[in-house]
Amino acid sequence: MRFIHKNKQIVAIFTVIAIGVILAIWILSTEKPKAMDEEHGHTNESMSSAPDTRPQHGAPGHNHEKDHLPLPTSDSVPHDAHEHQAQPHEILKGPHGGKLFTQAGYGLEVTIFEQNVPPEFRIYAYQDGQALAPEASTVSIELDRLGRKPEVFKFEKENDYLKSNAVVKEPHSFKVNITAQYNNQHYQFAYDQVEARVQVSDKQLTLNSIEVLTAGPASIKSVLNLLGEIKRNADKSVQVVSRASGIVESVNVNAGDNVHKGQVLASVSSQAVADMRSDLFAGQKRMELARTTYIREKQLWEEKVSAQQDYLQAQNDLHEAEITVQRLQQRLVAIGASASSKGLTRYDIRSPIDGVVTNKQISQGQVVSETDGLYEISDLSTVWAEMVIYAKDINTVKVGQTVTIKATAFAAETTGKIAYVSALVGEQSRTAMARVVLNNANRTWLPGLPVNVVLVSDEVKVPLAVSVEGIQTFRDWSVVFGRYGEYFEARPLVLGRRDDKYVEVLEGMQAGDKYAAGNSFLIKADIGKAGASHDH
């Protein structure tokens, strides 16, 4: 019995040991693949939650291959009986930071290089992981962009790589098809790369009031922008003075008041006017006496009672009295005083024109003389817009040209013709002056107001232009956002002449291309948001 019990214990111990060995083998077999995955960074956690720390396009340290994750497509397609079918896999990175494609031991690394040179494709070839001489491979790349014909790039040897024969234009958003030949074998790879693109439906366009226009021919005006100022029309402005010295008794108007021709502006008590009126009244009395004497002498001469000499003397005295009265009346008229008034010394100062009192230099009780300026009155129904012309622009500005006058302080605009260009250039300023007479019946243009003057010196028809509204600054480019189906994509432009409506396009678009114009900044903002959260 003791022997049997001892045998059972031995069997139990071996059983436990055997189970332990089996469990150890099973655990090791399951942990090893997991450890391998973690070693290569292929765990689900590492693929889904790794933060995007790549620099944006144009930022320091930006690299097209490292910072623009491609959208993988089928990376190999058989061409003939000698082609090799590659197994689909995620695009890898090569030793030069490019996209690495392999097929049956043959590999190509594709990079876009743009350090101190315009962007260009560079391709490195490998066989079984070993670098190949670049001339051993024949490679071509076809780029498919939205709204464009395919671009084909050929390659030539340079150093240890193949370099494309053309610049890879921005944006680097396209489908890439790579065809290669090595050792009588044909290979084909492909990938997608997207940037500066956003999807916007027609409904979203309507809701956000985004205007879509078509690029095409336009008339662009060559414009000269000048600085100017509104001034009083000097031909319709007057200085009002007192033509007789005296003391101001009353002041009836102030600066800014509208006045009419003949309206009394102020009254002055003048001894000089009183003397002239006294002389006039005395002369009128002498004239009446001379007239009475003349009538009597005429009657006596006709009745043969008195001599003709007495009649002629009376007639001469009457003429002299009349001349004296006329002379005294003209003196009063010359100073604007009436022959009769409420007071002998009262002298009324009247407005010579209809207009606005723009300056007042008079107050009650003030002593004034014949040379003192009391009021300035201007007819503001017309004003002058005077502009400064720099020496380089003098030959551009001519009398009779139409200009547009724009207020700088508020929204107001009018047109007029240049009426005068100064014949001399200022010795100090080295500028000339031009003048436009503006209708100002509604008093919009007040003297002293600064204005911008736009002169159209020429107008030219250009084959391709876009609306000024559509031009946006994106990264360091001037772009419009082209419309392709339901997508908008940035199109960097080379721009030429412009006016306030259109900009000439020298490079970057084609006639007939549609683009965002009004509210295009919303597209820019949407692309910016997409760039902050999505791979390109």
To 5 degrees, how large is the angle CA 319–CA 321–CA 323? 70
Task: Decide if pLDDT at 177 tops 90.
Answer: yes
Average pLDDT over residues 22-40: 47
CATH topology assigned to domain 199-221+459-533:
2.40.420
Local structure of 477: helix, strand or coil? strand
The full length of the chain comes to: 536
CATH topology assigned to domain 225-234+379-456:
Elongation Factor Tu (Ef-tu); domain 3 (2.40.30)
pTM (two decimals): 0.52
Q: CA–CA separation, 410 vs 321, rounded Å?
A: 65
At 35, list the tokens. Answer: 């450890």
Q: CA–CA separation, 458 vs 253, rounded Å?
A: 49
Q: CA–CA separation, 327 vs 321, rounded Å?
A: 10
Q: Report pLDDT digits (tens) over 417-448.
A: 999 999 888 888 889 999 999 999 889 999 99
Among 463, 439, 451, residue whose Cα is nearest residue 387? 451
Average pLDDT over residues 28-35: 43
At 381, list the tokens. Answer: 């129904």
Q: CA–CA separation, 83 vs 366, rounded Å?
A: 112
pLDDT more than 90, % of the chain: 52
Among 297, 310, 58, 326, residue whose Cα is nearest residue 196? 58
Please state the domain extents for the chain: 1-50, 71-194, 199-221+459-533, 225-234+379-456
What is the architecture, at CATH level 2, of domain 71-194? Answer: Sandwich (2.60)
**Neighbour order of strands in the sheet with 367-368:** 346-350, 264-269, 246-251, 367-368
Of the ranges 27-36, 128-137, 472-481, 492-501, which one carries the lowest mean pLDDT score?
27-36
Q: CA–CA separation, 529 vs 522, rounded Å?
A: 11
| 14 pLDDT tier (thresholds 50, 70, 90) | low
Determine the residue type at 478.
S
Please state the φ and ψ torsions of residue 439, each to the nearest 5 degrees. -75, 130
Please state the φ and ψ torsions of residue 136, each to the nearest 5 degrees. -75, -15
Q: Report pLDDT digits (tens) over 448-484.
A: 999 999 998 888 899 999 999 999 999 889 999 999 9
Q: CA–CA separation, 416 vs 77, rounded Å?
A: 71
Q: Report pLDDT digits (tens) over 282-339.
A: 888 888 998 998 888 888 888 888 888 888 888 898 899 889 888 888 877 777 777 6
Task: Decide if pLDDT at 73 tops 60.
Answer: no
To 5 degrees, how large is the angle CA 48–CA 105–CA 166? 80
